[in-house]
């Protein structure tokens, strides 16, 4: 039995593990996809204090090695359920584990477009990670869908690889940082398609074009080989709803000390209610959750 099981091995979960391990607790991290979370897909991190620039892979690997050096145990499996009690249980696809405290750090997943045939075209023109798949579309025409920082940075990244990038956003202004918007306006092979939504994916074995509908219901067909979706994220917290409160968007409600409504169950990172979801806030949450779990066990 472990003192603490952390569900999720992204930056927040691994930071929680570091603080808990240094607090003298035994820790297991469980994640179905390996370590790193979404940050592992970032080609470059340039807004983390005191680190001028680092790749997502290098950053995540450094955290993983740090957790391992302190004695943290990693299990790569999918959590199906948790059971509360003096001794808590974490039920996975392949096994179940006991502990005295749980930290939920499951992050969030990419939000789909929600249109017909989208799943059929995943890996055949649809992608949710420009840094992962951009090189498959070298010298080809692609589009990015979204209006936040992820969409803007994806468009900038792809403009260096692809022949042309259409940046499609449902509003007339972007939500992302003005510095990214200004940079995009100076890139000749990025075309802005505003007040518009992708309403149809066209192709046989792979995407060959899309239909875009503007606010006046005018339809435009654009030939593209790839569609990069960057319209936000959604958490997957249904497995925990017996023991935590969840808001209307699916995020776990907690206080600033990362406590949920159930004693001994904590939450940290992108999966909880918060205003800003960045690497810095994930690390902050992880340090708090790890410390609070230690304090709970020490009582």
Residues catalogued as catalytic? 129, 132-133
| 159/151 Cα distance (integer angstroms) | 12
Q: Do 158 and 136 meet the contact criterion of CB atoms below 8 Å apart?
A: no
Residue 222, phi then psi, degrees to nearest 5: -120, 125
DSSP 178-212: HHHHHHHHT-TTEEEE-SEEEEEEEESSSEEEEEE
Separation of alpha carbons 59 and 73, rounded Å: 19
The helix or strand, by DSSP H or E, that contains position 12, with its residue range, turns out to be: helix 11-22
Question: Which residue reads 């949920």 in tokens?
Answer: 260
For 44, other C-beta atoms within 10 Å of its C-beta total 12
Ramachandran region of residue 206, left (φ > 0), alpha (ψ -120 to 50) or beta? beta
- Alpha-carbon 141 to chain mean position: 26
**CA–CA gap between residue 47 and residue 34 (Å, rounded):** 24
User: Which token pair is 233?
Assistant: 């994220």
- Are 237 and 161 in contact by the 8 Å Cβ rule? The answer is no
Cα–Cα dist 107/271, whole Å: 4
| CA-based nearest residue to 64, from 99, 32, 103, 17 | 17
Which residue is it, tokens 């990693």? 74
Residues in the chain: 299
């Amino acid at each position: 039995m472990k003192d603490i099981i952390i569900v999720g091995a992204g930056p927040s979960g691994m930071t929680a593990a570091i603080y808990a391990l240094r607090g003298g607790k035994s820790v297991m991290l469980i994640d179905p996809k390996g370590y790193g979370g979404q940050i592992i897909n970032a080609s470059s991190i340039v807004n983390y204090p005191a680190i001028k620039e680092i790749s997502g892979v290098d950053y995540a690997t450094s955290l993983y090695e740090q957790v391992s050096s302190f004695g943290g145990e990693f299990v790569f499996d999918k959590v199906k359920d948790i059971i509360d009690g003096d001794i808590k249980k974490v039920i996975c696809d392949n096994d179940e584990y006991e502990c005295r405290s749980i930290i939920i750090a499951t992050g969030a997943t990419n939000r789909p477009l929600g249109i017909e045939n989208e799943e059929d075209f995943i890996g055949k023109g649809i992608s949710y990670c420009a840094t992962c798949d951009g090189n498959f579309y070298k010298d080809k025409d692609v589009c990015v869908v979204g209006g936040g920082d992820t969409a803007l940075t994806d468009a900038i990244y792809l403009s260096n690889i692809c022949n042309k990038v259409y940046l499609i956003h449902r509003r007339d202004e972007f939500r992302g940082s003005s510095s990214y918007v200004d940079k995009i306006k100076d890139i000749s092979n990025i075309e802005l398609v505003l007040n518009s939504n992708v309403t149809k994916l066209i192709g046989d074995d792979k995407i060959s074009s899309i239909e875009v509908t503007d606010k006046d219901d005018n339809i435009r067909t654009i030939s593209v080989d790839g569609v990069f979706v960057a319209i936000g994220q959604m958490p997957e917290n249904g497995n925990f709803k017996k023991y935590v409160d969840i808001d209307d968007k699916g995020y776990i409600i907690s206080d600033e000390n990362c406590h949920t409504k159930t004693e001994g169950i904590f939450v940290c990172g992108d999966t909880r209610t918060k205003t800003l979801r960045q690497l810095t806030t994930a690390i902050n949450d992880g340090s708090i959750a790890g410390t609070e779990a230690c304090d709970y066990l020490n009582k």
